[in-house]
Structures are given as C-alpha cells and as structure tokens.
Chain A
Amino acid sequence: MTKYMILIYGDDQQWQAMTAEQRKAHAAAHDAFTAKAGAAILGGEELEPATVATSLRSDASDRVTITDGPFLETKEVVGGFYLLEAADIDEVTALASLLPEVHHGHSGVEIRPVVDHG
C-alpha cells in the first residue's frame, strides 16, 4: 500500500461565492467520497481561504520574514487535502474522481505519492 496526498486546488473567490444550495451539494459529494474511500482515508481537511494564509521565507542573511498571503501568487490555491492509502494510482484516481472539485471548471486535484521512509 502507498500513501497519497490529494491536494485540492481552485479559485478561492469562486468557492466563497457558492450559494447555500451549492454548498450543500458540495458537502454531500465530499460525504459520498468519504463513504466510498472509507478506511483508506488517513486524514483530510478543508482550509480557510488563502487570503488568511501566512508565508515564511528567509533572505540571504537567513533572517525570517513573515508575509501575508499564500506562498505562490496564483489564482488557483490549495483549498483542502486528503491523505489516503491505496494499492495503486488507478485506485486513487477512481476515488478522487468523486470529489466535486474535479467536476468544476475552476478547480481540480493533484495527486502526490508520499515518500515512504520505510
């Protein structure tokens, strides 16, 4: 078995603009995903919008600077994640296809295998 991180990317503004109706459908889709994936899910969270993100970097003299905002200034930001365990990539893509973000134009998911330090 291999661990995979599913990173959910999308446009924060469009997520914020969802109607109550849309939110309900969205949550139901996540529930369906969770039910289907079952024990394979090791963890997962929805993140607060990137507007409240804080980033740390250091300059040449290794002085840490704190900045407001996400690490990368892109329209699509990470909005949530799941950590799950699966036998192979086909199993993960089949499950992840259930996520509502995959089916909206502005969003999608990225699947990254987790390093096995064995």
Chain B
Amino acid sequence: MDDDVNAAVALAHRRDWAQVLATTAQLTRDLDLAEECTQDAFAQALQTWPRDGVPARPGAWLTTIARNRARDVLRRESAFRRSMPLLVDDTAVPGPEDALDDDRLRLVFTCCHPALSPEAQIALTLRLVCGLSTAEVAHTFLVSESTMAARITRAKKKILKARIPYRVPAPEHLDERVDAVLEVVYLIFTTGHAAPDGPHLIRKDLIASAVGLARMLHLLMPADAAVSGLLALMLLIDARSATRFSSEGRLLLLSEQDRSRWNTRLVAEGVSLLTDALARRPPTRYAVEAAIAAVHAESPAWEDTDWSEIVGLYDTLLRLRPSPVVALNRATAIGLRDGPAAGLHALAPLEAEPALAGYGYLSAARADFLRLLHRWSEAALAYEEAIALTGNDVERSFLAARLAEVRARLEH
C-alpha cells in the first residue's frame, strides 16, 4: 500500500509538478511562494494519500491544495504583500493565440528568459519546471548545495527586480524565445547524456527531465517544428541508451553496439516526429541533427551506414549553424565514407581552429584515423593528448584501452 502511494506521489511529481507550480504562480504572482506551496502540497499528499487513498485526479488535487495554501498565506500577509512589487503583470498585455495560453508555458518562458544567465536558466528550469530539489540540481552541476541555492535565489531576485514577465512571448518574438528554451532543454539532455566529469557517463534523471520538458512543449506547441525536431533528436539518441556500455561498464562505440537492443518504440516515435519536422522549410537545426540520428537508428548494421547521407546532412547543418564541433563531426563522417586517409585530410584544417584547441574529441578522432592507418607512434601521441583533455572517467578508460592497444603494436 505504502509503496503504491509512494509510486503515485512520484508519478504525480514527474507529471504534474510543473502544472501545479505554474497554476499556483498565476495566483501568487511570486515564484518563491508558489514553489513553497507546491512543495507543501506534495508533502501533504505523502501524509494524506496513504489514509484516504490516491485521488482520481492527483494533479487537480495537488493544485487545489497548493492554491488553498497560497490563498491562506496571501490573506495573512496581504498588507505586507500589497506593498511589494508583483512578479506577474500580464493582465494588461493581450495574450498570444489561445492555444498557447498555458501556465506551464509561462513558467518555462520565464525560467528561460534571455535576461537570465544560461546557468541560471538551467538551474531554474530544473528546479521550478522539472521539480528537482536544489540538492539534485547542485549535484548535476557539481557545485555545493549552498552555491546552487544562492544561484537560484539570485535568479529569482532578478526575475522580481528586473520584472521578467510571467508570460508567453508575443508572436513576433516567439521563435527566438522558443529557441532559447530549446537550448536549455538540449543542454540538460546533453549534460545527462555525457556528464562532463565524474564517474557516470549517463545521468538518467537529467535525460528524463529533458525529454519530459520537450514532450510538454510538444504537447503545448504541436505545430512548432523546432520543438518536434528536438524531441525527435532526443528520442532517437535515447533509444540507444541501453547499448552504450558493455556489461563491464566500458563505453561502446556506435559500431560496437547491439542494434537489436535499440528501443524500436522510441525510434519509431522519433522518426515520425522527424518526418513532420523536416516537412517545414527551412529545416531547423535540431531536425537535421535528428535526421543524422535517424540514419543510424534505421541502419541495420554499422557497415550499412549511409555515410554519404550523413556527410550531406552535416553539410546542411554547417550551413544552418556553423560550428567547429559540427565541422569536426563532418570530417569524421568523411573519413568513414572515404577511408582514414581522407578523414585525416578533412581533420587537418580543424587543428588550427582555436575553439577546438583543448577539445578531446578532435584528438580522439585523429588518433582513430592514425590507428587505422597503422601509424602507431603518432596514434599513441594523439590518444595521450585525448586522455589528457577528457574529464569523464568512462571515456578516459575507453581511450586508455585504445592507447594500450596501439602501444602493444609499437613494441612489435
């Protein structure tokens, strides 16, 4: 019974936290108070549900409790609060199309407002929209809980003092603001997918938060191609998550993964979203990245990968969003299409790219091509360089194994 209730509360937390907090904030016009009342409502659920049973509509139950609690506080503090500036003041401004009139969207757009620093945007989104505790958010970014608490407090203060509105942006700004939100969502996902430091390469909670956010955005903005593209991309990458490690915890390359264990349900969902996203012109950055992931997902074996298609997609991506990292991926794909010598040749101009200096993946890509060309001593040097530049333990041990392999060849 208790396990069932705990599971029900956990499910409600995942599914309804954002809605409860966002609806409460609409009433309190104060994110701090809304957060406190939301937390109280979940605490009360843990007490009440074992006794009275799980309500038929947990989200509605939690919202009622949180809003009642907020009303009590507001009544008690009304004199004090009247003199304080209000967080929210969207009544004077006509809202966008009704379809976008949703409290959760207001909350997301507030948390991902460009007037907040990127770190603050991510922290606020994880705390307020995804409902992670401050300790969990701190853990994600490898900072102390007090540092993260201070960061979140500072961000809330900025929202209040600079009057960042609790509002879905006007249609003429919607695209750029959606981009800003997607940037945050994707950063949460990539942080979860390849935790930059430490012993774990994957943080499942962050991946779940990012996918949950994208699902919510897609539900609320089904016609937005950028949102569909990003959700497709994350699902297609996540579909491979079960096969990224060997049973001993070693990182497995795409070429080594057991494709029969890829999650076909996620692949199918990703491809269907992608088809929709690619139908729009011009395609968005995420849709093109999702298309690259889809080529892998739909290829029965590594040897069957359509590298020409992938190089073409990277060309498109470079036009949409020129970046040294995309150029690096394109060069790697050329090597896989035309052979390691062509790959090295394609990597060469990137060596001078300042943005890639100190980027471990460049050294690792060069090391791989050198290894395939049997240029053992150069390969060993490049692997050493890649190891020195990589902070993630799992990736480091992968590179170390490659280095040992190359050194063994050297001694023969």
- On A, residues with C-beta under 8 Å from B are 2, 86-90, 93, 111, 113, 116, 118
List B contacts of A2 (CB < 8 A). 85, 163
The CA of A87 and the CA of B89, in the complex, are separated in Å by 7
- Please tell me if the beta carbons of A89 and B115 are within 8 angstroms of each other in the complex: yes
- Please tell me if the beta carbons of B163 and A93 are within 8 angstroms of each other in the complex: no
Q: Which A residue's beta carbon lies closest to that of B90?
A: A88
List B contacts of A111 (CB < 8 A). 162
List A contacts of B93 (CB < 8 A). 87
Kindly identify which residue among A87, A89, A116, A118 contacts B92, using a CB–CB cutoff of 8 Å.
Answer: A87
Kindly identify which residue among A86, A87, A93, A113 contacts B161, using a CB–CB cutoff of 8 Å.
Answer: A113
- Tell me if B131 is interfacial: C-beta within 8 Å of chain A: no
- Tell me if B247 is interfacial: C-beta within 8 Å of chain A: no
- Tell me if B260 is interfacial: C-beta within 8 Å of chain A: no
The CA of A113 and the CA of B165, in the complex, are separated in Å by 14
Q: Which B residue's beta carbon lies closest to that of A4?
A: B162
List B contacts of A118 (CB < 8 A). 83
List B contacts of A87 (CB < 8 A). 89, 92-93, 163, 165
Kindly identify which residue among A86, A90, A116 contacts B85, using a CB–CB cutoff of 8 Å.
Answer: A116
- Tell me if B169 is interfacial: C-beta within 8 Å of chain A: yes
List B contacts of A86 (CB < 8 A). 163
- Please tell me if the beta carbons of A88 and B164 are within 8 angstroms of each other in the complex: yes
Q: Which A residue's beta carbon lies closest to that of B114?
A: A93
Distance (Å) between the CB of A65 and the closest chain B CB?
Answer: 34
The CA of A87 and the CA of B163, in the complex, are separated in Å by 8
Tier of interface size on chain B: 10 to 19
Majority secondary structure of chain B interface residues (helix, strand, loop or mixed): loop
- Please tell me if the beta carbons of A89 and B85 are within 8 angstroms of each other in the complex: no
Given A2-B163, A88-B164, A88-B165, A93-B115 contact (CB < 8 Å)? yes
- On B, residues with C-beta under 8 Å from A are 83, 85, 89, 92-93, 113, 115, 161-165, 167, 169, 173
Residue in B92, B163, B165, B167 with the greatest tally of chain A CB atoms within 10 Å = B163
The CA of A92 and the CA of B114, in the complex, are separated in Å by 13
30 pairs from A and B in contact (CB 8 Å cutoff): A2-B85, A2-B163, A86-B163, A87-B89, A87-B92, A87-B93, A87-B163, A87-B165, A88-B89, A88-B163, A88-B164, A88-B165, A88-B167, A89-B113, A89-B115, A89-B162, A89-B163, A89-B164, A89-B165, A90-B164, A90-B165, A90-B167, A90-B169, A90-B173, A93-B115, A113-B161, A113-B162, A113-B163, A116-B85, A118-B83
Distance (Å) between the CB of A71 and the closest chain B CB?
Answer: 23
The CA of A93 and the CA of B162, in the complex, are separated in Å by 11
List B contacts of A116 (CB < 8 A). 85
List A contacts of B169 (CB < 8 A). 90
The CA of A90 and the CA of B172, in the complex, are separated in Å by 13
Distance (Å) between the CB of B311 and the closest chain A CB?
Answer: 36
Distance (Å) between the CB of B116 and the closest chain A CB?
Answer: 10
The CA of A118 and the CA of B83, in the complex, are separated in Å by 7
Q: Which A residue's beta carbon lies closest to that of B89?
A: A87
List A contacts of B85 (CB < 8 A). 2, 116
The CA of A2 and the CA of B93, in the complex, are separated in Å by 15
Q: Which A residue's beta carbon lies closest to that of B163?
A: A88
List B contacts of A90 (CB < 8 A). 164-165, 167, 169, 173
The CA of A87 and the CA of B92, in the complex, are separated in Å by 9
Distance (Å) between the CB of A90 and the closest chain B CB?
Answer: 6
Extra 16 A-B pairs, beta carbons < 8 Å, given A87-B165, A118-B83? A2-B85, A86-B163, A87-B92, A88-B165, A88-B167, A89-B113, A89-B115, A89-B162, A89-B163, A89-B165, A90-B173, A93-B115, A111-B162, A113-B162, A113-B163, A116-B85
Q: Which A residue's beta carbon lies closest to that of B91?
A: A87
Distance (Å) between the CB of A73 and the closest chain B CB?
Answer: 26
The CA of A89 and the CA of B162, in the complex, are separated in Å by 6
The CA of A113 and the CA of B164, in the complex, are separated in Å by 11
The CA of A111 and the CA of B162, in the complex, are separated in Å by 9
Q: Which A residue's beta carbon lies closest to that of B93?
A: A87
Distance (Å) between the CB of A110 and the closest chain B CB?
Answer: 12
Q: Top 9 A-B pairs ranked by shortest CB distance?
A: A88-B165, A88-B163, A89-B162, A113-B161, A2-B163, A113-B162, A89-B164, A89-B163, A89-B115
List A contacts of B163 (CB < 8 A). 2, 86-89, 113
